A and B are shown apart, each in its own frame.
Chain A
Amino acid sequence: MKNVMGLVFANIYDSSLGQLTNKRTQASLPYGGRYRQIDFTLSNMSNAGIRHIGIITQYNYQSLMNHIGSGEEWDLELEENGLEFITPFSSGHPGSFRGKLDAIESATDHLRYAHEDYVILADAAVLCAIDLEEVVKKHIESSRDITVVVTRGIANSKKQLDLAVNLDVNGEITDMAVDYAAPADYLASMGLFVMRRDFLMEKAAEAVAHSRYRLERELILKGWTDAEFTVGAYEFHNVALFNESTDEYFRNNLALIDADTRKSLFREGLTIYTKVRDQVPCYYGEHSEIDNCIVADGCLLLGAAEHSVFFRGVRLSTGAFVKNCVVMANTEIGIGAHLEYCILDKDVKINAGVKLIGTAEHPVILNRGDVV
């Protein structure tokens, strides 16, 4: 799809992910043993043949840049301007972005000199494997101005949705709401939007000129309500994991232990790419007891674990026991330690015999490099 470019927002849910995004963007948050969240967004785009992606990021983006590099894992290094980082201050913008529209407006130069007719807007908080070529095809066929990708099963009257829609039997939008804990018959926006590039530039400029910065509320909802332009919905039927808060992030990591979720996320033809680390295969020791776990390369597992996710290079000592935990890269768990419901960020060291027990709703979270 040479005629489509991607624009990815890297920081949208930083504040609701608490200490996990203290020193990184939500987009570069590790996920599922060996990924960063943005891998899913970039891979979906790359698999659809998109070779021009702008990543909009405001702060904490060192880890993001380090992860993505030249973008060669996603074939983005092939073309001039294949991958662009768009940051405040880099293009005459006076300060941090006041909303997605503000960020898009500041990317005007990138958009103006692009040669693609269509733009896909995405954030890196919803993880899925989606055929974006199909989405764009349906968008063009529908002749709508904007297509919103939506999914069922997320709205539950509790979760605050950025954008929720209700559809009639023909898939036409009958209601639209923003920042709304919509009931279960609503479909949640996956933060994926398709529209023409010139349309986006024009609408963003107009909105920002009127101090309207919020994409969902002040462009899409307003335009649809005022019948200023047309909005269609594309319903996605596979697994979409919304990692917009710490407890969702925790739950959705452990969700990979379910075979159906794995199958839906890692599908033939929709490969998820990530940065290569060249670690050795995991070694399981003489007395290891690993049940229902996701395990990445480079681990040395000598103790016991149940229902947990191990990122690369974790060392689980003899006699240690880990249950319902998300253990990020290069963490060391000492002899006889006992951990339940914890998120251990990278490079954490748990000394011998330490016991830490959280709950499903409130996991214990340790910061990168913490020693306990």
Chain B
Amino acid sequence: MNFQKKRSVAMLLAGGQGSRLMVLTENTAKPAVPFGGKYRIIDFPLSNCVNSGIDTVGILTQYQPLELNEYIGNGQPWGLNRSHGGVQVLPPYARSKKSEWYKGTANAIYQNIGFIERYDPENVVILSGDHIYRMDYAKMIRFHEEKDSDVTIAVRKVPMKEASRFGIMNTNPDGSIYEFEEKPKQPKSNNASMGIYVFKWSVLKKFLIDDENDPNSENDFGKNVIPAILNAGHRLFAYDFEGYWKDVGTISSLWEANMELLGIDPAFNLNDGKAKIYARNYALPASFIAAESKNVDCLIAEGCEIYGSIRHSVVSTGCRVGHDAMIEDSVIMPDAIIEDGAIIRNAIIGEGCVVHSGAVIGGTFKDGEDRAISVVGKNHVIEPNQVVKPGEIL
């Protein structure tokens, strides 16, 4: 069957186990973790694709894919229910000769060469499913094509003292990359890779096949494929990105990213009239805010009934917060019930949790002190008057 050619196809790596998010990813793939009151992490890269004019997206998934599959559905909320292209969830599947799990990020793409070839693209954009940011990939693709680049890697400046925690791109004045160092002890620059790549498909395909044939390779983009392409003398460029970007792969970064949505002029402003983030919306009525509630510096999504007090927190769709309940510096994920008089501070409460009356979760911290975030996993029930200590994870 002949398909119309697509200029760019995006492949979204959503297969990570997300083990650092612990209980939040027990039964949920990391990209399906709720964020910001009504979103899931994957809404950000998916919406970025749509807002950048990319209408063909493959989502590579293998751990706990059920919820993610259901969430993506036919892609309609993102306008990705296309007759040609659109969004497709790509789990590993049994091929004629052998079937195997995705061994690494590069192997996941290798196993889906057939999917990409159907669209005969010029460029393949590789994205990660655990980053919160807004980015116009179209600009990056234009840069990539103008430079006649084989691989373009989005980078952002990080403080020099933190550079040794990242993959660092060392560049020439024209932006071309001469060296890639994974977590260097003595960083030469502070251009940190954001895990967003644009590849010339013809080049990527060749190196994916080579990488697959190398028994010593870990089949990872950062560790194997990119260094191999660089060593072979291809054109690699760094694309500078300025703006909010956050890897939400850990409990504390997920909590922080939620907090960064707060304020009249927040670090990450989703309500500034710029590119919209789309999400699957459920049919919920507008929220009810009772007279006795007191809500200060917080986001409250639709479908909530709020009788208690909420300060500096994100309360997601379909939650109920009872009388005299108090929530501070916390993230309440969808459909949680916080009963009367419960106290929640510096915590993440998972989807569908019930916190019975009088329970106390988390604690307070001084300014500048490292906050130990308490976490209650999805659908957990906290008994009346139960105490969940600061940093405790249930």
Chain A residues with CB under 8 Å of chain B are 32-34, 43, 72-73, 256-257, 259, 262, 265-266, 271-274, 276, 278-298, 300, 302, 306, 309-311
Contact = CB atoms under 8 A, between A and B. Distances in A.
Interface in B282-325: 283, 285-291, 293-302, 310, 314-317
Given A290-B295, A297-B38, A297-B301, A280 B270 contact: yes
Contacts of B76: 72
Contacts of B293: 290-291
Interface string B120-142: 00000000000000000000000
Nearest to A310: B286
A73 B76 CA distance: 11
B104 interface: no
B291 A292 contact: yes
Nearest to A298: B271
A279 B300 CA distance: 12
Contacts of B276: 278
A282 B287 CA distance: 9
Given A280-B37, A298-B271, A32 B295 contact: no
Contact of A284 (B38, B77, B290, B298): B298
Nearest to B314: A281
Contacts of A294: 285-289
A276 B280 CA distance: 9
Contacts of B91: none
Nearest to A294: B286
A297 B296 contact: no
B216 interface: no
Contacts of A34: 285-286, 302
A73 to B, nearest CB: 8
Contacts of A282: 287, 299-301
A172 to B, nearest CB: 37
B283 A272 contact: yes
A73 B38 CA distance: 18
Interface string B139-169: 0000000000000000000000000000000
Contact of A283 (B278, B279, B291, B299): B299
A280 B271 contact: yes
A297 B77 CA distance: 17
Interface bracket on B: 35 or more
A300 B271 contact: yes
A272 B285 contact: yes
Nearest to B288: A294
Contacts of A262: 285, 288
B289 A290 contact: yes
Interface centre among A256, A265, A285 (most CB of B within 10 A): A285
Given A280-B270, A292-B290, A297-B38, A266 B285 contact: yes
Contacts of A281: 36-38, 299-302, 314-317
Given A34-B302, A262-B288, A271 B283 contact: yes
Contacts of B36: 280-281
Contacts of B285: 32-34, 256, 262, 265-266, 272, 294
A306 B294 CA distance: 13
Contacts of B264: 283, 285, 300, 302
Contacts of B298: 283-284
22 contacts: A33-B285, A34-B286, A73-B283, A257-B288, A272-B285, A276-B281, A278-B77, A280-B270, A280-B299, A281-B300, A281-B302, A283-B262, A284-B296, A285-B264, A288-B295, A290-B289, A294-B286, A294-B288, A296-B287, A297-B301, A302-B264, A311-B286
Contacts of A73: 283
B251 interface: no
B286 A291 contact: no
Given A266-B285, A284-B310, A302-B264, 5 more contacts: A256-B286, A282-B301, A286-B297, A288-B296, A306-B291
9 closest cross-chain pairs (CB), A and B: A33-B286, A281-B37, A281-B301, A291-B291, A296-B286, A284-B295, A281-B299, A276-B281, A280-B270
A249 B11 CA distance: 49
A292 B77 contact: no
A284 B314 CA distance: 10
A34 B282 CA distance: 13
B287 A295 contact: yes
B302 A296 contact: yes
B296 A286 contact: yes
A258 B230 CA distance: 66
A294 B314 CA distance: 18
